[in-house]
Amino acid sequence: MSTTEGQTGAIALATALMLLVMLTLIALSAAQIGIGDLRSVAAEVHAQQVQAAAETAFARGLAYARRNVTTLTLSDDIGWQRCDVGDIAVPCGDGVVNRYGAQWTALRDVASLRLQANGIESRVHYLALATDDLNAAPQYGLLQIVGDGRGGDTGAAALIRQDVRVTPLLYRAPEALLTAPSARLGGQGQLRLASSQSISVWSSGDTQLADATHSCIMQAGVCGAPLSTAGIDAVDIVDVDGGLGAPDGIVAPGDVVERLFGVGAAHRASLRDAMQRLDSCLQLDSQSHAAYWIDGDCELPAGAVVGPLLLVVADGRLISHVATLRGIVLMLSPPSDPPGALRLDGRLRLEGALLSDGPLRVVAGDYQLQADAAAIDALRTGATASYWVLPIPGSWRDY
Amino acid sequence: MLTSQHGFSVTEAIIGLALGLLVITAGIALLTTTLTMHGSAVQRTRMNQDIRQIADGLQRDAARAGSWGLAADVASVSMRHQLQLSADSGSIVAVAAAIDGATDTAAFAEPLSASVLEGRSLTALLRDVGGSTRRYTMQIDRRLDPQSLQISLPASSPPLPSRLIAAGSWTVLDPFDGMQVDGSCLLLSYDEDGNGQRNDSNERFGYRHHSADRVIRAVNNSASCSAGSWENISDERVLDVRSLALSLRSGMIGGATLSLQRPALSWRLQVRSRRDSTMELWLQSTVAMRNDVHD
């Protein structure tokens, strides 16, 4: 009996098997390449995701610090802990080695700033220079913000760190009750100097008092005899007018923004960012102690006592029915058309200082500009002060 | 015996072989097409990965440019110490004094050691009598002791308006400032090990396009586009780098009047496949300098 007996299509079978083997090998090879590609792409995607998470955390940490710097750096009951030299965990270390010894204090993983999505976590940590007292609050002035992104199937992690300076927003206390390039103050105005203060108005141009407006020195809470009045500049008005009153030698600062905040006009955007933005001044009350910025008119709530605060009014008027405002008001590009920078339907009492980067004109109204050193001090120090949070050039790092 | 065999007839065999050949041909054609497409996809993926790897490195280094391990230390010391100067011009002794009851008077102790400070520039913001602020840059000649420095004001500079530099108004310029962009070449430096000193053998970074070899080259020890140990970072067997265009510009944040300058690096990369010149990729982006100057 032949071995080929009963066989049908042996060649076809062999061919089919060969094809099957070839196709299997190709499929396996393609799958292997595909899996390798997927792994590579997944690792890249995860790396990008954790980097983005770290960037997000850093941005949130910076924004939070800008808004809450006083509670963040002056409170000792929110979880600050001294870094240990052996601590390699973020933020005292980077997960591998310790980077910040015992001279730094850490606030780890601020719960309210933590974000989580698709297995990726975004955490915010803070580091501050510690004081010698282990139980004391971290030292104000220098803060490090740490953005921490981690997670994903590949266990990727990314860190971004940057140091920021925390300095009072108010760089210098105003020297005068009113500082402006020039001024014309009409209506029923009173410029009330403290006995320790000598300048009521400081201008690089001419300042004129008109109508019943006058300056005086406060004595036992009462305005003393007039110093300067309409047509008469006494030595308390330092301006450039050809010789009336004080000599013309001391020229007022050309840039009141720079004088007040220590930054020039080019930094107005960051100044604006550092302040709380107001839609309306009617939101202000006696608990308003921050630095505020409003674009357009600022209408103070009737009958309110506001501040101490730092208020910037850009391209608008200060409108008062009857109000008392404590602190410093800076007017940027104040309107000159009547009734001028102030629209007074009732009395305005400003205890502190008024500054303007443009000519200041007040046509009518009842207003008092009165020295208040305590209100200005409160803007520079203590829990009610406002601060710049400025990134330190050269301190940004990622890992 | 032969009558019991049931093989194919000639006609059956021819038809079978023809069909088999047809199937095999179709299979091979399909396989070839698949392999070609796969190869093309792999090639494109490889190109993408390579180009992105180059771009990531360039962007990461550009973002890190100017990073200095002692930036925070200098800021901290500056914020807590004012400088009392012995003169307002020429050679000056600057003595650091702690403010606000700070007990640490050793302003220029570790990590601000002599090797870090000497030869560097000290800049101060001082107000003139008119109230405007001006920047003065002095050379740190020597660290006399942990409290004082010997500095010198260039003869070309006007005298200092004050012999007292307030805390927070002075700083020491870091050794990692400066970034050069020259068309298709980028040079920068940053403090990779965070020790505060620039090591020219591994902390000077660069990227450039080599037009003859059509590759991207990188370096970590050169301050020149034409010197140093530049090495290929693009695979010359895979990528045909046609161009790399770099430009440094000042980004504007905010409006026309309310603005903040922030330097940014824009780059554009044109790459073709070495195997298939019709396969071309363009990649471009802008990366913000994270260690920009806030003055």
Reported as a single tens digit per residue, the pLDDT across B83-109 is: 999 999 999 999 998 876 555 568 898
| Nearest beta carbon to residue B66 from set A129, A142, A394 | A394
Assess A18–B contact: CB distance below 8 Å, yes or no: no
Q: Which of A133-147, A251-265, A346-360, B160-174 has the lowest mean pLDDT?
A: A133-147
Q: What number is the average pLDDT over the span A38-55?
A: 87
What does the pLDDT read at residue A193? 94
Q: What secondary structure letter does DSSP report for A113?
A: G
B164-223: pLDDT as tens digits: 988 878 888 888 877 888 889 999 999 998 888 888 889 999 999 999 999 999 999 998
Calculate the CA dihedral of residues A280, A70, B292, B202 and round it to 10 degrees: -160
B255-284: pLDDT as tens digits: 333 334 567 889 999 999 988 888 898 999
Query: DSSP string of A301-367?
Result: PTT-EEEEEEEEEESS-EEESSEEEEEEEEEES---STTBTEEESSEEEEEEEEEESS-EEE-S-EE
Looking up tokens 């070495």, which residue turns up?
B274
Which of B64, B290, B292 has the most A C-beta neighbours within 10 Å, making it the best mutation to test the interface with A? B290
Q: B71-172 architecture in CATH? A: Beta Barrel (2.40)
Residue of B nearest to A40 (CA): B49
Which residues are registered as beta bridge partners of A306? A325
Asked if B131's CB is within 8 angstroms of A251's CB, the reply is: yes
Chain B closest-CA separation from residue A6 CA (Å): 7
Asked if A255's CB is within 8 angstroms of B132's CB, the reply is: yes
Q: Which residues contact A26 (CB under 8 A, 6 or more apart)?
A: B31, B34, B35
A185-201: pLDDT as tens digits: 999 999 999 988 889 99
B46-76: pLDDT as tens digits: 888 888 889 989 999 998 898 998 888 888 8
What does the pLDDT read at residue B49? 84
Asked if B258's CB is within 8 angstroms of A269's CB, the reply is: yes
What does the pLDDT read at residue A370? 94
Provide the percentage of residues in chain A whose pLDDT is more than 70. Answer: 92
Residue span(s) of chain B under CATH 2.40.30 come to 71-172
Asked if A19's CB is within 8 angstroms of B27's CB, the reply is: yes
Asked if A163's CB is within 8 angstroms of B260's CB, the reply is: no
What does the pLDDT read at residue B103? 54
Which pLDDT band holds residue B251 (cuts at 50, 70, 90)?
low
Q: Which helix (H) or strand (E) holds A166?
A: strand A156-168
Phi then psi dihedrals of residue B29, to 5 deg: -60, -45
* Chain A hits for B130, Cβ within 8 Å: 251, 253-254
Q: CB–CB of A124/A146 below 8 Å?
A: yes
What does the pLDDT read at residue A131? 58
Taking CB atoms and an 8 Å cut-off, how many pairs form between chains A and B?
119
Between residues B33 and A383, the one the model is more confident about: B33
Which pLDDT band holds residue B138 (cuts at 50, 70, 90)?
very high
R_g (Cα) of chain B, nearest Å: 32
Chain A closest-CA separation from residue B200 CA (Å): 18
| pTM greater than 0.80 | no
Q: From CA A67, how far away is CA B98, in angstroms rounded?
A: 29
Asked if B168's CB is within 8 angstroms of A254's CB, the reply is: no
Average predicted confidence (pLDDT) for chain A: 85
What does the pLDDT read at residue A278? 94
Assess A251–B contact: CB distance below 8 Å, yes or no: yes
Angle (CA) B49 B53 B55, round 5°: 115
Chain A closest-CA separation from residue B142 CA (Å): 23
Which pLDDT band holds residue B292 (cuts at 50, 70, 90)?
low
What does the pLDDT read at residue A83? 87
Q: Enter the tokens of residue A209.
A: 């008092």
Between residues A250 and A271, the one the model is more confident about: A271
Q: What number is the average pLDDT over the span A367-391?
A: 84
Nearest to B166 by CA among B107, B124, B117: B124
What does the pLDDT read at residue A347? 86
Q: What number is the average pLDDT over the span A98-107?
A: 82
